[in-house]
Structure 1
Amino acid sequence: MKCYLPRVSAVPKRGVLLAVVWVLALVPATVEARVLAIADQNARTFTDPIWQSLELEHTRANVAWDIATGVPDTRTVAMLDAAQAAGVDVLVTWTPSGARLPTAAEFTRAFLAFRQRWPGIREFATWNEPNLRGTQTNNRPSLVARYYRVMKSRCLRCTVLAPELVDFPSAPMWARRFERAAGRHHIAWGLHNYRDANRFHPLSESVTAAMLRAVKGPIWLTETGGIVRFGEVLAFDESRAGSATARVFTLAALSPKRITRIYLYHWRAPSREFLWDSGLLSHGGQPRPAFWILAERLGKTQAAKRALAARDSAPPPRGPDDTPADNPDKPSLLCLLALDCR
């Protein structure tokens, strides 16, 4: 499979400080009214003093649909428990487990077991990236709609999103097929608009704009941000990722009343051998340009600087490094940013 990606112009490199200043100039110096959050998979994120300085109240996690009935993923269990202990609300988006999709009955049992294990979690997205090419869900929006109806009927106090779609050009059509199967036409959606954010094409050509035209309900950007490195598709460039992060907010401004949440992925970069890096902090824990954009939007720039100074003046922690591993779903997205995949 080949992926064809337009060349992305890099931000001129005159040092990280100038890159931060240049990118922040693209962002209005006002505190963001919509909900801003970080999608992450690591339990230690919530005890990081830099994270705590931002006073974030929301996060998002990919969770296997049968985590409460199958073999538990100890890393995800630890992350969910840590987020709740920190008072952070978790948006759970379901992902595959094993080689086949669950039946509606299997999904119902697993969902009820999850609700019993984590009753404090009440925000769910129906499925993670079901329109991704080559997945079992790509041509089965009716089955995914059954999962949606299960959650809507079994937890009346829960917030249930439709699936979180990848911003492929086919996303609006997939969404309309899902709505017909679900029997609803004012559904809250999740959207992963990495392509729109990182390709810098005209806003009018974005899938974000097309989705706003295609569906009537709210749209949460549940996984997005500037990509620092993506295998051979995007070379390492923190400045470019900062510009893409600023563009996320430009895309959200297409409809401030409907795009009410933004979840940037993810907190801390993995080690360099991993394929995907969109971390707000480097592997060593240093803030990148994208981090300062988020801090500015939150009105927490000074608080973050104080936390960073306090951390850097303290003795280094003892014990093994537990920096998050690469998101296991990301290697399947080699054509995420591509114009064409064959």
Structure 2
Amino acid sequence: MGYTNNAPTRHIRLLLLAATLVAGLIVLFAPAPSARAVELGISDSDAATFTEPYWPGLGMSRARIVVPYDVATDTLGPAGIRRREIFESYRANAAAAGVNVLVAFGPSEDIRAPDTGEPVAPSADEFTAAFTAFRARYPDMVTIAPWNEPNNPDSTQYPLASDPALAAQYWLITKSICQGCTVVAGSFAGIGGDDAYVDAYQAALGGARPEVWSFHAHGDINSFQASGPDSARVSRYFLSKLQGPWAGGRIWIDEVGAIFRDPSGAVRGDASQQTATQFLLGLASLDQRIDAIYYYNYSNQCAMWFRCATQDRGLVSPSPFDGQPVDYDGLNRPRAAYNVIAARGPVIVPAAPVPPVVAITQPAQSAALRNPAPTFTGVAATGGRAAGQVTLQIFPGAASTMSRTPTQTLTAAVAPAGGGWSVTAARLRDGVYTAEASQAGNPSSSGISQDVVFTIDTVAPTSTISAGPPRLTGARTATLTFAGSEPGTTFVCSVDRRTATPCTSPLRLRALELGTHSLGVRATDAAGNVQRTPTRYSWRVVSLATALAPRTGDLSSAFAGGVPLAATCADSCRVEARVYAPAATASAAGLAGRKVSRRDPGRPRGKGYVTVASSAVVRRRAGSFSLALRLRAAPGRSLRNTSSLGLRLGLALTPKGSKPTAVSTRVTLVRSGALRALAASGLPATLACSSACSGRAVLWVPSAIARRVRAPGRSVAGGGRTGLPRGGRYVALGSKPVTRTKAGASEVVLPVPANVGKRVTRLAGAASVRVVGLASGPGTPASTLGWPLLLPR
């Protein structure tokens, strides 16, 4: 109901007519019980209520008023301004009396349909602007019902009967603007069985869950007064609609009253109003969530005494503004109903029990099921008027997105002892579903379970390994990342085909031995489906060995100190190096040569070669080392004065746990012209690796030579990780990166800037240079290699 206390509404008349249908129900009169701990308030828009002499005796700290939604805006006409004045007086008087005010909004007094003069519902934007103004003007008003009786079909007073979604939108707007407020949802007119409107209103709330719902229950009291014992079917209806996903909210009956004189003019009198008010208090026994009831109203206030006769529900007899008493009751008299409210009893409880309680116990909320025909179990009410069976409906989808057309409707018998029930569904397709169980009870009431969302999943998941170590690596640790094709997937892992154990991503492995390793991942989804064939990833842990060798050098130095060679091992390894020459070349130069072994992995292709120098190192641990391949004269012969020798260098790198990597490269030794060749085409070198590797080779000269050739680089001190001798300073003439994707050798030429090269050729005698390399493989730290080289002019 709205501000006008004495205007009848169409739905009240309908409910009065319908009340005769329950005339045979039995009233359960308690021996004089008191009302359960429920707060009572007044639903009354009269500002004078809180200053009336009998107000304090009611012991109330709650009140409810209906005001136009635009009461705080600056565009009010005379009628709107008058309503604002009344509201502000009401607000001030309530504050002085220590009363919390529930403000319910209704149509504007000034904005009306031009053709009919009927009220108009504001748009969402208009409501937003009006409520924003209300919050700014009245910040102390923090208990709000966004719209009074939105489902009332009387279009002469209520404009939202055809738009439940807009009514729900008002609630969402109010909640978003006034986040610290108590925002009451519904405030529905008491129309039992109003499913279409209530369902649409709730659906429009989406995922929002109001903390308080409210409805009016005049129809229950009217039926009681008209026909005697009553089951409170209107209240039971709304309580049944506020179960399932809405069961967490509190409930207020924010407008309900007992008639002293009805609209037809019949005086019901003190006794009828008194017992009806006792029944009104008994509504609180229907549901523990009901914690507030607002009685309508304190006293009829009207401009003329004869108008006070319409819908007189006052606890105190009417007080006409003209001071003339009505002819059917004493002026300003506390009635018997007043005493019931003041004493909070005695109470008459409704005839029927509360709606039956029904619940689904299996499957669990959010369960994933592998069985496409699951069995549902639960508990329900027994005895009384509760039906002996439960109806289970299965809807496609989940929560606010689910279809309201059930895929299956099943029934299950309720066991008399314990109330258990069970039913098996027909086969369901894979997907998400919502199950809802209901049990019929008393007229217009039924129990509805909490919605249970579950998933049917009969498809086995798959897994993917998205990241892992390189297929060939020197790292003894590995991190592998994997994922399942479905949310909520769990995994078992088998490392190197050992027994599978539960695992999570990323999986980190340590202390891996040299050799081939593998990971097998098998996924299990939330429904228990298991991946048939595990996803596999394999890689090989290898030990890297590298070597850096020159491809040009001084012939005299090769006889005196040997051809230099640098090598590194990431673990224990064997490095074998040999210099080969054609037999005729060795004989002509007077070199000692011996036959090339067939088991020599680095031997050159072709026939007629002999070995003229060799060296080998076996390392038991990681590190860098050098070899010198010294040319020797044949017994009884002296070395000829040869100007140059074209030889081949063979390398065999055998890291721990690996086969040898063989490399064969050309080496040219000269007595003169090496500096000219350096200036013209750079210094050639060979980097050999036992697996994939990368590195950089750098050509260094002592600072004294760098100054003579005016090399542009910065001087660097030897020592540390430079690979240069301690105590000297060096300048880099050129560098070159090297990258290999597999085992073998890379030929690299270290360039010299053209202007520096011209000055290099002017150096007198031979020049000492150093070649330093820094090489590493996948997962292997970089190691330094280097050797000195004398280049004759």
TM range (shorter): 0.7 to 0.9
Whole-Å separation in 2 of the counterparts to 1:240 and 1:184: 44
Whole-Å separation in 2 of the counterparts to 1:227 and 1:173: 30
- Contact 1:203–1:251 under 8 Å retained in 2: no
Instruction: Please give the TM-score of this superposition, normalised by the length of structure 1.
Output: 0.75
Query: Where do 1:174-213 residues align within 5 Å?
Result: 174-184=197-207, 186-187=209-210, 188-200=212-224, 204=231, 206-213=233-240
Query: Where do 1:325-340 residues align within 5 Å?
Result: none
2:149 is matched with which residue?
129
1:261 is matched with which residue?
292
- Whether 2:139 is the aligned partner of 1:142: answer no
Whole-Å separation in 2 of the counterparts to 1:138 and 1:240: 32
Pair member with larger Rg: 2
Distance 1:233 1:147, change over 3 A: farther
Task: Give CA deviations for 1:243-290 in whole Å, capped at 9, x if unaligned.
Answer: 2111112222111x2111000011113434232211000122211111
2:343 is matched with which residue?
296
2:264 is matched with which residue?
232
Task: Give CA deviations for 1:1-43 in whole Å, capped at 9, x if unaligned.
Answer: 895645989xxxxxxxxxxxxxxx8684546511111111122
The number of residue pairs the alignment matches comes to: 283
Query: Where do 1:237-252 residues align within 5 Å?
Result: 237-252=269-284
Whole-Å separation in 1 of the counterparts to 2:139 and 2:32: 38
Task: Give CA deviations for 1:228-253 in whole Å, capped at 9, x if unaligned.
Answer: 12321754433212221111122221
After TM superposition, where is structure 1 displaced by more than 6 Å over at least 4 residues in a row?
A: none
- Whether 2:69 is the aligned partner of 1:65: answer yes
Whole-Å separation in 1 of the counterparts to 2:257 and 2:204: 31
- Contact 1:29–1:296 under 8 Å retained in 2: no
Whole-Å separation in 2 of the counterparts to 1:282 and 1:205: 26
Give the root-mean-square deviation of aligned CA atoms. 2.6
1:17 is matched with which residue?
none
2:124 is matched with which residue?
104
Q: Which moved more, 1:111-120 or 1:225-234?
A: 225-234
Distance 1:6 1:221, change over 3 A: same
How far off its partner does 1:295 sit? 0.8
2:133 is matched with which residue?
113
Task: Give CA deviations for 1:68-117 in whole Å, capped at 9, x if unaligned.
Answer: 01333122221122212322110011111132211111111211211122
- Contact 1:190–1:221 under 8 Å retained in 2: yes
- Contact 1:62–1:128 under 8 Å retained in 2: yes
Unaligned ranges ≥5, structure 1 = 10-24, 300-342
Letter in 2 for 1:90: V
Distance 1:261 1:142, change over 3 A: same
- Contact 1:172–1:211 under 8 Å retained in 2: no
Considering fraction of residues, name the structure with more strand: 2
1:92 is matched with which residue?
103
- Whether 2:110 is the aligned partner of 1:75: answer no
Instruction: Please give the TM-score of this superposition, normalised by the length of structure 2.
Output: 0.34
Letter in 1 for 2:336: P
1:44 is matched with which residue?
48
Q: Which moved more, 1:183-192 or 1:262-271?
A: 183-192
2:57 is matched with which residue?
53
1:308 is matched with which residue?
none
- The answer to which structure, 1 or 2, has the higher relative contact order (CA under 8 A, 6+ apart) is 1
Letter in 2 for 1:89: N
Whole-Å separation in 1 of the counterparts to 2:31 and 2:145: 29
Considering fraction of residues, name the structure with more helix: 1
